[in-house]
Amino acid sequence: MGLRHRGLDGPTFRMREKMMAIGDDYWIEDDDGNKVFKVNGKAARLRETFILEDAQGNELSKIQEKKLTVRDKMTIECGDAHATVRKRLLGIRDHYIIEVEGGEDLKAHGNIVDHEYEIERDGDTVATVSKKWFRVRDTYGVQLAEDQDVPLILAITVCVDAMSRG
């Protein structure tokens, strides 16, 4: 990928869009094209559920849709970390609030539908998502700042992608 964007110097990943439906699985690749994480879409569940696994199949995060809520909401269980992703419409752009239990909250904002957005914590960009980095259809990249919780940030991008389709 060879991507370095806006001073973010952490790892980069290649994601697939429109592949995340119940029962769909797909790989997240690193900068060198190695399959490093798998998103496992669980079929036959009453609510949308995804499991983020490492390359060996170990569960890193569980991502689950919350039914019967007023606003769109998904929860993330990532080791000891728990987060809730909520959708909020501001004008013509989507905005997502990520409440992290016992930690600092995040927000995702920008052109979510076109996969051109940032994830921020206290005004600092912790990840940038962009489709412009690839010529391959239905592919977008995630560039993280250094020292971020990689499974949590990737789980947030899975949530945002799933919720933006809904």
Q: What is the pLDDT of residues 60-110, one digit of tens each?
A: 999 888 765 555 789 999 888 899 999 886 665 678 999 999 889 999 998
- Segments forming the whole domain that contains residue 40: 12-165
For residue 93, being part of any structural domain is answered with yes
For residue 52, being part of any structural domain is answered with yes
Q: What share of the chain is helix, strand, coil (3-state, %, to 5)?
A: 10, 50, 40
Residue type, 42: K
**122: which 2 tokens?**
């206290």
**58: which 2 tokens?**
């170990």
For residue 6, being part of any structural domain is answered with no
Phi, psi (degrees; rounded to nearest 5) at 7:
75, 0
Q: Note whether 122 and 103 are within 8 A (CB).
A: no
For residue 34, being part of any structural domain is answered with yes
For residue 1, being part of any structural domain is answered with no
- For position 92, which CATH number holds? 2.40.160.200
| pTM, full prediction | 0.84
CA proximity to 154, closest of 42, 22, 50, 8: 50
Q: Which residues pair with 8 in a beta bridge?
A: none
Q: How many CB atoms lie within 10 A of CB 114?
A: 14
Distances (CA, A) of 103 to 82, 100, 147: 9, 5, 15
For residue 7, being part of any structural domain is answered with no
Q: How many domains does the chain have?
A: 1
Q: Note whether 144 and 150 are within 8 A (CB).
A: yes
For residue 4, being part of any structural domain is answered with no
How do residues 5-60 score in pLDDT, each as one tens digit? 556 788 889 887 654 455 578 889 998 889 999 988 875 555 678 899 999 999 99
Q: Note whether 163 and 85 are within 8 A (CB).
A: yes
How do residues 121-165 score in pLDDT, each as one tens digit? 999 999 999 988 776 667 888 999 999 999 999 999 988 888 887
For residue 125, being part of any structural domain is answered with yes
Distances (CA, A) of 146 to 14, 16, 55, 92, 157: 17, 23, 21, 31, 17
